[in-house]
Every structure is written in structure tokens, then in C-alpha cells.
Amino acid sequence: MAQVTDPNADAKLRQPPPLRLSRIFHARRETVFNAWSSAEHVKRWFCPETYSVPEAEVEMRVGGPFHVCMRSPAGQEHWTRGVFVEVTPHSRLVIDMEVPNAAGGLLFRAHTEVDFSDALGGTRMDVTQTYTLFDAALAGPMVRGASEGWRTTLDKLEKEVIRMQGGAETGRRSAAHATFHLERVYDAPVARVWKALTDEAAKAKWFAGAPGRWELLERRMDVRAGGSERLKGRWEGGVVSTFDAIYHDVIPNQRLVYSYEMHLDDKKISVSLATLQLHAGEGTTRLLVTEQGVFLDGYDDGGSREQGTGQLLDALGAALKD
């Protein structure tokens, strides 16, 4: 029997499908972007679980090096040697990475694109790696395990971002205070805006994570003086965020005052007091929002919270058009 061969088999072997992954970080884009910017930062996170980075050379500029030595628990060292080919501050990085074998030849090349964007809760980072294999026998298993390696690497990046914001997992504590004011004018009567803020079904249309990127775990709402609200969901990276609020002042169509705590998994990251004031116009509503918060142990900050609240208010505006 004649053997049927795939004329594209060699090309498929040399160029497997790209790896794509995303993660939400509860920090500003500047912070997540800067975690790639120096050897000092990169040495703390750019390796899978159980590995360490004893050496790194990083110069974030077009043509600058991105060289990282990863050391296994057994003491074996594996180098990744890269060069920055695109640097768009706080938005995008492209790095051509090469992984050599012990003799100095190439195992594979990984064209790495990293995009940073605003997301509810902080910053979304999307990574796409496109591979070219030069030694399929050795490089193939490494590339097939890249998804899990990146998962634990991004777990380390989360911790580095926390450290960069002033927090740590070593018992160090911090408390940063901030106040911000936001204003929106909606082309909707005040009663409709009030309902969107206080009715559970109406609020569910805009007060939630992005579809496909966030899974609802629990939602309940009781808007009255002394009443409470909870929204709990799991982000695509596995982190569970919880919003727990208590209402202190409820004047229909005029004012809401509530305090709320935010948790990431079992960590309390902030405590805030929010005041919402509604002013009716000719078929419009002006909404004034003031928040005063204390952000704990570097897990969040006033800038990130203001940005996230602004995005929620924009989502409210979009829901009012439906």
C-alpha cells in the first residue's frame, strides 16, 4: 500500500500553532508595562514555578537586549536571548526571542507580542507567541509545555506587580489613601438612572466583568439604609474578586451613600466610602460620584480604582441606551 504523506507536514512541525494567553492584573497599565522594563523586575518573575533567574540583561528600547537565564531546581541553566523590536509605552511590546541548545545552536525562536489594555479591575495583558522550531525533537516538548509555564510565570508577575505598588507577601503592610471625583451626564430621566443603580436586574446589565473573561459566582442586592450588596466573580486568570457594600443613606432619585470592601481571593485590598448624587435635567441626569478610599498592602491604588470606576460609569451609560 502506498504511503500517503502530508506535503505540509514539515512546515507544520517547524511552525506549531501560536500560543495565546491573557491575564487581568489589578494595577495600572504603567505598572504592568514597567515590570518588563529592567533586569531588576524581570529577575523576580520571568520564569516558571520552581525556577529562578540568576542573570538577566534588559534594555527596553528598540534593538535593546532581553536576555534571561532560567535556573532549574537541579541547577541547570537555560538561556533565552531576545531583542526588543517594538516598544510602545504602556501599550505594546514585541520581542524576538531565541532559545539555544547546549552547543550554541538554535532550538527554537519565539516571536513574542505583548499588548496592554485597560480592563475592568485594572489592566489586561495579552501575550501571543509564534514559534519556529529548528530542532523539533527537543524543542517540541518545550513548546507544548509553554502554556503551563506561562501560567505559573504570570502568577509570579502578579506578585511582582503587587510588590511594585508597595505591597509584598512578606508581612510588609501599607495603606495608601486617595479621593477622586467623577461626573457623567446621561441622556435618560433620573428615575431610569436611579433604577439602573438600585435594581438588581438593571444593575446586572452594566456592573459586572467582561463576558467571556469573568464568571459570575454570586450576586445579591438590598438597597436600603442598612442593606447590603455583594458581587463575586472569577476572572479568567483564576482570581476571585468580591465587592461587599453596606448602604448608609438612600434618598430615591437623589442620593446614595455606601461603604464597600474589595477582596481578591482571601485578601482584603481596599475599604472605600462612595457618595452618588443625581441631579435631574430636561430628560437628562447628571451623576456626581465621589470616592474616598484606603488601599491596602499594594494590591490596588487610587488611580486604578478611579479608572475602573470611570469604565463602569461608561458601561452604565451604554446600558441606559438599550
Q: Which residues contact 272 (CB under 8 A, 6 or more apart)?
A: 259, 260, 261, 262, 291, 292, 293, 294, 305
Tens-digit pLDDT profile for residues 217-236: 999 999 999 999 999 998 87
Local confidence band at 167 (pLDDT 50, 70, 90 cut-offs): low
Range(s) of the chain covered by CATH 3.30.530.20: 11-164, 175-320
Local confidence band at 53 (pLDDT 50, 70, 90 cut-offs): very high
Separation of alpha carbons 146 and 72, rounded Å? 15
Q: Which three cell numbers stand for residue 165?
A: 505598588
The mean per-residue pLDDT over the stretch 13-33 comes to 85
* Coil/strand/helix, residue 176: strand
Cα–Cα nearest to 178, from 21, 307, 81, 50 = 307
Tens-digit pLDDT profile for residues 134-155: 877 777 777 787 888 899 999 9
Local confidence band at 8 (pLDDT 50, 70, 90 cut-offs): very low
Backbone torsions φ then ψ of 72, nearest 5 degrees: -80, 165
- pTM value? 0.62
The mean per-residue pLDDT over the stretch 270-288 comes to 97
The mean per-residue pLDDT over the stretch 251-269 comes to 92
Average pLDDT over all residues of the chain = 88
Query: Comparing 115 with 139, which gets the higher pLDDT?
Result: 115
Q: Contact 172/299 with Cβ under 8 angstroms?
A: no
Cα–Cα nearest to 297, from 161, 121, 160, 172 = 172
Domain 175-320: which topology? Alpha-D-Glucose-1,6-Bisphosphate; Chain A, domain 4 (3.30.530)
Residue 270 has pLDDT above 70, yes or no: yes
Q: What proportions of the chain, in percent to the nearest 5, are helix, strand and coil?
A: 25, 45, 30
Domain 11-164: which topology? Alpha-D-Glucose-1,6-Bisphosphate; Chain A, domain 4 (3.30.530)
Local confidence band at 33 (pLDDT 50, 70, 90 cut-offs): very high
CA angle 294, 297, 303 (to 5 degrees): 50
